[in-house]
Amino acid sequence: MILLIGCEKGGAGKSNIGGNLGVWAALKGVDTIVLDADPQGSAAKFIARRNEAGLPVVHCVQKTGDVFATAKDLAQRYQLVIIDAGGRDSKELRTAMVAADRMIIPTQASQVDLETLPHLDELIGLAQGINPGLEAFAVLSRAPTNPVINEVADAKTLLVEFESFTMARSIIRDRKIYRDAWLQGKGVVEMGNSKARAEIQLLADEMFPHLLRNESAKPAALAQ
């Protein structure tokens, strides 16, 4: 399976989601690799810190430009390929859409972030014309933890209007534990915050409903 994490707005928590899902999958015994297609290399730096600390290994490669062939090749050797594309319209993002099975679009519940989504909706629609199996989900990320703030409810109302992607049930809140874990090279599933752990678990359950239960998810080379 190829999962793309991509959007057109920086600071939406893209690498945080990709890194945490990568750690979650690796700890579950899923043969996982992160393809860091963001020139900033945030995911690769996170995984390097992790592996240098002697934590359970998460594999990672870096590739910019056209990532289609690389993603498809990795999918022959790993059960799960997570692509971290840059937070902008780019060759990396567009070619990854054509390769991916699923896409997560992290977005903050702010007008600035939501205004980027109509164009992204068009891009996903074009990609689905070439790759009809692509399923895309908007995930509210860095959402306020204060229930009094109505941004999340307002964003949910707007997100149902798009044609090429749907609204995920999962929400990633703006919790300090995500930043603390990132600096240590850890996923929040390895930390003591039960709320953050539950958020990643729920997102993984939603994005990978058959990954742990279905042996056919393994690449043929691994299943032999």
Domain ranges in the chain?
2-208
Give 175-180 contacts, CB < 8 A, sequence gap 24+.
175/145, 178/13, 178/16, 178/20
Domain 2-208 CATH assignment equals 3.40.50.300:
yes
pLDDT band at 222 (very low <50, low <70, confident <90, very high): very low
| Average pLDDT for 141-150 | 77
Task: Indicate whether 125 pLDDT > 50.
Answer: yes
* pLDDT computed for residue 47 by the predictor: 96
Collect all residues with Cβ–Cβ distance below 8 Å to 187 and sequence separation of at least 6: 19, 20, 22, 23, 24, 27, 181, 200
| Residues 42-98: tens digit of each pLDDT | 999 999 999 999 999 999 999 999 999 999 999 999 999 999 997 778 999 999 999
Q: Output the pTM of the full model.
A: 0.90
* pLDDT computed for residue 160 by the predictor: 72
Task: Indicate whether 124 pLDDT > 80.
Answer: yes
- To the nearest 10 degrees (0 to 180), the angle between helices 42-52 and 176-184 is 60
| Residues 7-52: tens digit of each pLDDT | 988 888 899 999 999 999 999 999 999 999 999 999 999 999 999 9
| Residues 93-118: tens digit of each pLDDT | 999 999 999 999 999 877 788 888 99
